[in-house]
Copies of this chain bind each other. A is one copy, B any other.
């Protein structure tokens, strides 16, 4: 029985681009990590090493830098769309492009108009697909947004079997490092505004939900983002449960009423889920 080539893609990962814009003495800064990948009629290169359909990954990197020079960089989704549309039409054999970008935030140091300090918190992300058939998908997101509630979280009434030893918790610390991605339903007028509103929704829902489980919080975060932001149709969340265990201080004659915690590394709970509109359009390749 024959062996065949299945789904495949190739590209240049993690092109580190810093784009400076000089508005007189006032400079602006964009700091990106760009990964591109292309797919299409790639049987020849895989089966015989015929590279005639292969636009080199080095060329993809060059294109990222050239486009940054020519077009500048504002919102990462717009820059990714520009690249994806270019690549998907660039060669006869290349039918599809995927562009993934991470953006690292910087703040101004108010001493000069050209000095910056890197924000260390969450990283803004996007994944854009464009196919030669005209379909385009945009997923925006963030990762490493670390949140913690010192109270307002319970966990009890769970299923119990012969391996269950966990005690119910009436008041616990709830902490997570949010990875969220959200799918745009169509043409979003401003990715900047959309990002700000989704991020704020996630933050407020985490903080504002009295939580009976991290699953409930996950759903509340997704639902809040969808209710607040009409332009998106689906939110996917990955929430590691960063356990904070109350330390038993009784051996030392001390109470510990929710004051002293051990922040544990591994293992950790991991809650993953999607929240979407019932009429969300088909996702196509958006999540690939």
Q: Which residues of A are in contact with B by a Cβ distance under 8 Å?
A: 1-22, 27, 29, 31, 35, 37, 42, 45-59, 61-63, 65-66, 68-70, 90-91, 93, 106, 109, 111-112, 114-122, 144-152, 155-166, 173, 203-204, 206-208, 211-216, 218-219, 222-223, 226-227, 234, 236, 240-241, 244, 247, 249, 251-252, 254-279
Residues of B within 8 A of A52 (CB): 157-159
Separation in Å of the A8 CB from the closest CB of chain B?
3
When chains A and B are docked, how far (Å) is the Cα of A5 from the Cα of B271? 13
Residues of B within 8 A of A54 (CB): 158-159, 213, 215
Among A37, A151, A277, which residue has the most Cβ atoms of chain B within 10 A? Answer: A151
Given known contacts A117-B145, A215-B54, A273-B5, A252 and B162 CB-to-CB distance under 8 angstroms = yes
Given known contacts A10-B269, A148-B115, A20 and B259 CB-to-CB distance under 8 angstroms = yes
Among A37, A207, A255, which residue has the most Cβ atoms of chain B within 10 A? Answer: A207
Q: Which of chain B's residues has its CB closest to A253's CB?
A: B162
Chain A to chain B contacts (Cβ below 8 Å), 8 pairs: A10-B215, A14-B267, A16-B263, A16-B264, A59-B164, A68-B259, A70-B252, A119-B120
Stoichiometry (number of copies): 4
Given known contacts A1-B277, A269-B12, A59 and B166 CB-to-CB distance under 8 angstroms = yes
10 A-B pairs with least C-beta separation:
A120-B120, A49-B212, A6-B274, A8-B273, A115-B207, A118-B146, A120-B121, A111-B207, A49-B216, A46-B219
Residues of B within 8 A of A260 (CB): 17-20, 65, 68-69
Residues of B within 8 A of A65 (CB): 247, 249, 260, 262
Residues of B within 8 A of A15 (CB): 262, 266-267
When chains A and B are docked, how far (Å) is the Cα of A162 from the Cα of B112? 38
Separation in Å of the A32 CB from the closest CB of chain B?
9
Separation in Å of the A45 CB from the closest CB of chain B?
5
Given known contacts A3-B226, A261-B17, A268-B13, A111 and B208 CB-to-CB distance under 8 angstroms = yes
Separation in Å of the A114 CB from the closest CB of chain B?
5
When chains A and B are docked, how far (Å) is the Cα of A111 from the Cα of B19? 35
- Of the candidates B21, B207, B276, the one whose C-beta lies within 8 Å of that of A3 is B276
Separation in Å of the A272 CB from the closest CB of chain B?
5
Residues of B within 8 A of A252 (CB): 62, 66, 69-70, 162-163
Residues of B within 8 A of A261 (CB): 17-20
When chains A and B are docked, how far (Å) is the Cα of A122 from the Cα of B251? 36
Separation in Å of the A74 CB from the closest CB of chain B?
14
Separation in Å of the A127 CB from the closest CB of chain B?
14
Contact A270 B2 (CB under 8 A): no
